[in-house]
Amino acid sequence: MRNIGITRGSRDRTAGATALLLIFILGVSSCSTDGRQDTGGDVAATTMTVDTDTAVPMRDGVVLRADIYKPAGSGPFPTLLYRTPYGKHFAVNDYQTHRRAVERGYAVVLQDVRGRYASDGIFSPYQQERTDGYDTIEWVAAQPWSNGKVGTYGLSYPGAVQWLAALELPPHLVAMAPAMTFSTPRKFFHMNGMFDTAWLPWIYQYIAPDARARQGLPGITDETEAEATWPDVADDYLLFRPLADLPYLRKEAPYYFDWLEHPPEDPWWDWAEIRHRYPDIGAAVLNLSGWHDDPYGPEGAVSNFNGISQARADQPATRTHLVLGPWVHGVNSTGRQLVGDLDFGVDAGIDYDEVILRFFDEYLRGEDTGLAGDPAVRYFVMGANEWRVSPSWPPQGVQVKTMCLMAADQSAAGALDSCSGSSGNETSHFVSNPDEPVVDPYDTLGPHDYQALAERTDVLTFDSDPLDNPLTIAGSATARMFVSCDCSDFDLWVRLLDVYPDGRAFNLMSPGADALRASYRDADKGRQNLEPGSIYELNLDGLLAANEFAAGHRVRLQVFASFQPHLAPNLQTGESEAYGTDARSAEITIYHDAGHRSELVLPVLGSRD
């Protein structure tokens, strides 16, 4: 059965929390976890009040609506802002962050973004969030119950809105905690040259129902029903060619078709580009993601952390932090030890609320929590199942270990070796057929056992010998591949796995960052189709992970050209799948000769002694 698609940034649903809203509305007392007093009022933060659907006017006259939670007392209070497209009424039931923040003396504002649920206007994902975010932050700072110091928090879309607002330089934004979000639209809407079709299940399940209800359109208007019916229609959406002619969602999500019109190199996308703006950002920043987050998440957290750190290198303190756990996408995952099919131990989970509130206590309230003096990076090493710290990323002490790919064929695995000897056969080959793609057998992210893929004739497998000693990596591995194809374009997937002695082979990251469209080998130059038969160097340098390969385990690299349903399929004709319909099979060659040594470069951590 075909994988029906993993949606982009789906939101958590937590049952059994509906009583919290009653607590807020009734003003029932609850004790603070640490006995703090509110910072501006004259009454301890033990009760709270809530104002629902408060109008927040934007500069163009559109009114957004927010629920405002305040401690008892006159204030003014430091204020936290959470902006969401998923419904503030759902956020109340799904999360407890706002309750715990109020207990610590913060006012908290939960807002529906433009065009969603209680807010007016037309929803245009992400594009609207720069000015709307700025206007909301400055509105919050001007309220009599706010002390003018505003912090923002949230994960996925509620994480992205923070960066987009920060690009507008709101003067009252003091601290922000964007989690599991991106650094560049080129690795978010697209990924290494490939359009991300995960937007389709995201729109179908979480966006289109409310859009139909608002516009009076026929079709499903309930998210639960949309989630239940997506598997029945997934093929109709994900396999439709050309992508730009999809007959569905035309009225519910016209922006999706706008995205398809703009390839990743188009300057049109610069409205969402964060990477070049770090020197302009003045707020303290907490970056958080998981190794098995959506592929943009780890890259976004690391790039944003390093960008801010470098921009503030001459300042007394960089006021930025990085947390990288073993998790998949979502707040709920951050508290779990079981991720995918692996148990990472009791220490794997964190108290997400406590982590971000400690950050705000330090940088928004000005308390000495010790955070500013801690190492800036806290990261989890899978396999060893332990947390480590470092002042920087990649961690200090990383050394390069290069392993060369020795020839594989359709019946036997190749090798990963030290590069000191002859490779034997100088090439490895496989045939990729877009109409019979490699299929991800799992419909959830996280570490899973992919040993069965080695049996496919369109997958090349390269294994190291069993390790004599543990091998720990932390940072970005790079696959440097020399390839040719009898076609004009193809996608190269290079997946890094940890092979257990019993044969199980677990992925170290989510699908996407480990793929590259050959025509986008030089991303800044845009699409450059291949000359059939010519040899090209393709570098996949974003294989982010921290993992200990135990003694007796093997390092595995698997190479193939499709991984349905992840990312838009390559037609292998040189034509964009946005506008083309015909696909063709292609023979792809990996080179191992002395002049074209395909290799895996690992960031290896030295001994901790």
| pLDDT on residue 7 | 63
Residues 6+ apart with CB under 8 A from 455: none
Contact 288, 323 (CB under 8 A): yes
Fold classified for 19-187+269-390: Rossmann fold (3.40.50)
Find the range with the poorest average confidence among 4-13, 424-433, 522-531. Answer: 4-13
584-594 confidence digits (pLDDT tens): 999 999 999 98
pLDDT of residue 32: 32
Per CATH, the number for 398-605 is 2.60.120.260
**560 pLDDT tier (thresholds 50, 70, 90):** very high
Q: How far is CA 361 from the centre of its chain?
A: 26
Predicted pLDDT of residue 37? 34
What is the pLDDT, as a whole number, of residue 251?
A: 97
Distance CA(280)–CA(314), nearest Å, equals 14
Distance CA 253, CA 256 (A): 6
Arithmetic mean of pLDDT, 361-369: 97
Q: In the prediction, which pLDDT does 24 show?
A: 29
Q: Tokens 């504002």: give the residue.
A: 109
pLDDT at 321 over 60: yes
Asked whether residue 556 carries a pLDDT value surpassing 50, the answer given is: yes
Give the pLDDT confidence score for residue 282 in this predicted structure. Answer: 97
Q: What does the pLDDT read at residue 5?
A: 57
Q: What is the pLDDT of residues 484-493, one digit of tens each?
A: 999 999 999 9
Q: What is the percent of the chain where pLDDT is above 90?
A: 87
Q: What is the mean pLDDT of residues 59-82?
A: 96
- What pLDDT band is residue 482 in, cutting at 50, 70 and 90? very high
Q: What is the pLDDT of residues 228-278, one digit of tens each?
A: 999 999 999 999 999 999 999 999 999 999 999 999 999 999 999 999 999
Asked if pLDDT for residue 348 goes beyond 50, the answer is yes
516, 192 Cβ separation under 8 angstroms:
yes
Average pLDDT over residues 559-566: 96
CA distances for 376 relative to 324, 359, 389, angstroms: 11, 12, 8
Task: Give the C-alpha separation, 395 to 438, whole Å.
Answer: 35
Dist. CA 182–CA 194, nearest whole Å: 16
Q: What is the mean pLDDT of the chain?
A: 91
For residue 15, the tally of other CB atoms under 10 A from its CB is 7
The pLDDT of residue 529: 97
Nearest by Cα to 30 from 109, 110, 111, 96: 96
Backbone angles phi, psi at 462, to 5 degrees: -130, 120
User: Who has greater pLDDT, 360 or 18?
Assistant: 360
Angle between helices 129-141 and 157-166 (to 10 degrees): 80
Cβ(561)–Cβ(432) below 8 Å: yes
Nearest Cα to Cα of residue 14 among 294, 291, 328, 333 = 333
pLDDT in tens, 238-247: 999 999 999 9
pLDDT of residue 88: 96
CATH topology agreement for domains 19-187+269-390 and 398-605? no
Which of 96-110, 417-431, 501-515 is predicted least confidently?
Answer: 417-431
Residue ranges of the domains in the chain? Answer: 19-187+269-390, 194-262, 398-605
Res. 21 pLDDT band, cuts 50 70 90:
very low
Residue 97: its pLDDT value, please? 95
Give tens-digit pLDDT for 181-220: 999 999 999 999 999 999 999 999 999 999 999 999 999 9
* 81-85, 376-380, 412-416, 507-511: least confidently modelled range: 412-416
Reported as a single tens digit per residue, the pLDDT across 100-151 is 999 999 999 999 999 999 999 999 999 999 999 999 999 999 999 999 999 9
Lowest pLDDT segment from 39-53, 106-120, 228-242, 494-508: 39-53
| Residue 82 Cα distances to 47, 52, 89, 208, 295, angstroms | 21, 14, 12, 22, 23
What is the spatial distance between Cα 562 and Cα 459, in angstroms, rounded to a whole number? 10
Q: Measure the CA–CA gap between 156 and 603, rounded to whole angstroms.
A: 28
